Structure 1
Amino acid sequence: MATHLADTTVLNNGIKMPWLGLGVWKVKEGDEVQRAILSAIETGYRAIDTAAVYGNEAGVGDAIRDSGIARDQLFITTKVWNSDQGYETTLKAFDESMKKLRLDYLDLYLVHWPVQGKYLDTWKALEKLYRDGYVRAIGVSNFHVHHLEDLKQNSEIVPAVDQVEYHPLLTQKELLAYCKENGIQMEAWSPLMQGNLDQPVLVEIGQKYGKSPAQVILRWDLQNGVVTIPKSVTPERIRQNADVFDFTLTAEEMEQISRLNQNKRFGPDPDNFDF
């Protein structure tokens, strides 16, 4: 169980990945993303999650260089967008991302969505990037069990990570169990339900520990063995999101939170997403 911000999980290829990182979805390119990342790194975060479609890879790269932290102490993730999927186009998109980030290698590269008819070729490109040493680990995002099974039958490398929408209103029990059984690390995007935190159970449990509903959710993520990447641009909120290692939820509290599940998505369903 994660007990410190510096704690890591070991991916299926032996690479260490921080349990908690900063997501930068919808964070503006330039000063805003740079300030958020520098604040996070100062707090002790070592994982940053971006994507080509976020439009802020250059700012992420600038912040990495300005941080003064050695590159091998950071864990950087980006993703190939849907319109770039396919074998050759993915390789080209990766080059573009690396130019913007100005990095020599990437820690984790993800297929952003399972674009039907393309994601298998996209995955083959990721396998090449991994074998050629440009990426330390490869994974997917927004893949259901049936997408992962399809990959399993038609590829050589098992994804190291599946980054999906995951929170108390969308517990994805079947997917989490599948990932654990197959050595795939599940990672939560939008863990804080895009601000929809007004759940009495979360408030009540938080009051017991002197924590906010957001902190309770992030602790629940970690105790479920799920990597979590809450997004914020506010230094105080960035610090609060990292202050989740000094309490432990009981088994009963974990179950209370899980019972909030409504299979409710704030983002698209990967099976019904207009690519």
Structure 2
Amino acid sequence: MYEVWKNMEAVCEAGLTKSIGVSNANAMLFVDMYAGAKIKPVTNQIENNPYLAQTKLVNLTGKFGCTTTAYAPIGASGFTGGNLLEDEVLKKIAEKHGASPAQIALAWNMQRGVIVIPKSTTKERIKENFDALDIKLDDEDVEEINKLDANR
């Protein structure tokens, strides 16, 4: 893997990309890689949503100036188990804000400083995802969503 990282650094040095990052790096791997990297990773892309918050990892990478990019930010069958969009807590908070559970999950992650990349194939869903930028969750909302994390 370190050889792959060196090759990625070479691509960056050649001006073919502005920055490079890692995907699915756990804390130990991230710290080890960061220490040996000439060009530091700018993001760690991980599965991240209210059921799998990975708060310790998000905080750790943040201390190194590295962002977290969330894939499956509104859940994905086969990954986190259960249907995040049918979660009663998210539905209640969504109703309070006149939003969808998906928008609440996206807003929660964005308020944590996490970059979200939700999958969508329809214009309506893409617009709905963008509209999550306008949702401001209060402390009580965030606390309730944080309790959904099965990855504590």
Q: TM-score w.r.t. structure 2 length?
A: 0.92
Counterpart of 1:129 in structure 2 is 11
2:145 equivalent to 1:260: no
Where do 1:218-233 residues align within 5 Å? 218-233=106-121
Counterpart of 1:25 in structure 2 is none
Rounded Cα–Cα distance in structure 1 between residues aligned with 2:76 and 2:37: 34
SS of the aligned residue for 1:136 comes to coil
Distance apart, 1:155 and its partner CA: 2.0
1:216 aligned residue (104, 112, 127): 104
Gaps (5+ residues) in structure 1? 1-118, 265-275
Q: Decide which structure has greater strand share.
A: 1
Bigger CA radius of gyration: 1
Distance apart, 1:263 and its partner CA: 2.1
Rounded Cα–Cα distance in structure 1 between residues aligned with 2:29 and 2:129: 31
| Identity level (%) | 37
2:30 equivalent to 1:148: yes
SS of the aligned residue for 1:187 comes to strand
SS of the aligned residue for 2:132 comes to coil
Rounded Cα–Cα distance in structure 2 between residues aligned with 1:227 and 1:152: 20
Residue 249 of structure 1 aligns with an amino acid whose one-letter code is L
Rounded Cα–Cα distance in structure 1 between residues aligned with 2:34 and 2:98: 44
Where do 1:163-202 residues align within 5 Å? 163-194=45-76, 196=83, 197-202=85-90
Consecutive aligned runs of 4 or more in structure 1 exceeding 6 Å deviation? none
Distance apart, 1:173 and its partner CA: 1.2
Distance apart, 1:163 and its partner CA: 0.6
Give the number of equivalent residue pairs. 146
Distance apart, 1:246 and its partner CA: 2.3
SS of the aligned residue for 1:245 comes to helix
SS of the aligned residue for 1:137 comes to coil
What is the RMSD of the two structures over their aligned residues, measured on CA atoms?
1.3
Rounded Cα–Cα distance in structure 1 between residues aligned with 2:68 and 2:131: 21
Q: TM-score w.r.t. structure 1 length?
A: 0.52
